[in-house]
């Protein structure tokens, strides 16, 4: 079964027609990367996939269910994790408190398992979000999405603003999650980071 299928998405902000018939497929257990320059509509595509800016025409199917007009909380509850651009972690909460924010969805990912995959976060679990480096913040944003135990994870430009070595660490984590059976849609402007 496909994790995600989008067909003919047409999305608008008011009268601005942003997506013109976008389609893509992510098969189960696969990492698919969506590349494009700044302003091409990558973020809008993700927003349409998770219901934040629903498409006016076209269809989104997630694990076979037509979700095009589902509200975002329902898409999330069906097993879709979303890591928006800019990380949006809670600056005044500790690492561990950030991880406790999502509604729990039963599954293999628990705080101890997350600390195994992200030893850097384990070492800083009592630190506030604002004390973390950019790379640690990105790891925390991904780790927090994992707490929902998603079957499909959507990542918006996780490499943005990170040093190349840290970008490699982030992508290693993405590959490790894929190896656990997760399907991933990754948006990147940084072609080198995406193909390396």
Candidate ranges 38-46, 68-76, 132-140, 176-184; the one touching ligand ATP (CB under 6 A): 38-46
Rounded to a whole number of angstroms, the minimum distance from the CB of residue 17 to ligand ATP is 10
Nearer to ligand ATP, 39 or 119 (CB): 39
Strands 183-188 and 31-35: parallel
The count of residues interacting with ligand ATP (CB under 6 A) is 13
13 lies in the binding site for ligand ATP (CB under 6 A): yes
Distances (CA, A) of 132 to 116, 123, 125, 135, 144: 18, 11, 10, 8, 15
Shortest spacing between CB 41 and ligand ATP, in angstroms: 4
Q: How far is the CB of 11 from ligand ATP (least distance, A)?
A: 9
Q: How far is the CB of 166 from ligand ATP (least distance, A)?
A: 19
Q: Closest Cα partner for 148 from 182, 106, 88, 181? A: 106
3-class state of residue 154 by DSSP: strand
Q: Is residue 40 close enough to count as binding ligand ATP by CB under 6 A? A: yes
Q: How far is CA 169 from CA 75, 76, 158, 165, in A?
A: 28, 26, 11, 7
Q: How many Cα atoms within 13 Å fall on the side-chain side of residue 138?
A: 22
Residues in contact with ligand ATP, shown as a per-residue x/- string from 77 to 106 under the rule CB under 6 A: --------x---------------------
Distance CA(134)–CA(176), nearest Å, equals: 21
- Choose the stretch contacting ligand ATP; rule: CB under 6 A; options: 32-40, 63-71, 133-141, 174-182: 32-40
Task: Give the C-alpha separation, 196 to 192, whole Å.
Answer: 6
Query: Which residues form the interface with ligand ATP (CB under 6 A)?
Result: 13, 16, 18, 36, 38-44, 85, 189
């Amino acid at each position: 079964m496909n994790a995600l299928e989008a067909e003919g998405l047409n999305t608008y902000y008011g009268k601005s027609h942003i997506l013109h018939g976008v389609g893509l497929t992510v098969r189960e257990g696969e990492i698919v990367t969506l590349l494009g320059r700044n302003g091409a509509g990558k973020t809008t595509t993700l927003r349409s996939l998770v219901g934040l800016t629903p498409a006016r025409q076209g269809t989104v199917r997630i694990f076979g269910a037509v979700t095009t007009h589902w509200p975002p909380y329902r898409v999330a509850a069906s097993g879709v994790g979303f890591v928006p651009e800019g990380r949006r972690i809670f600056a005044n909460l500790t690492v561990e408190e950030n991880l406790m924010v999502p509604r729990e969805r039963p599954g293999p990912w628990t705080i101890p398992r997350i600390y195994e995959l992200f030893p850097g976060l384990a070492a800083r679990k009592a630190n506030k979000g604002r004390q973390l480096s950019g790379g640690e913040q990105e790891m925390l944003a991904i780790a927090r999405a994992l707490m929902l135990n998603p079957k499909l994870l959507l990542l918006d430009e996780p490499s943005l603003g990170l040093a190349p070595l840290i970008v490699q660490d982030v992508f290693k984590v993405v590959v490790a999650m894929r190896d656990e059976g997760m399907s991933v849609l990754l948006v990147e402007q940084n072609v080198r980071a995406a193909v390396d």
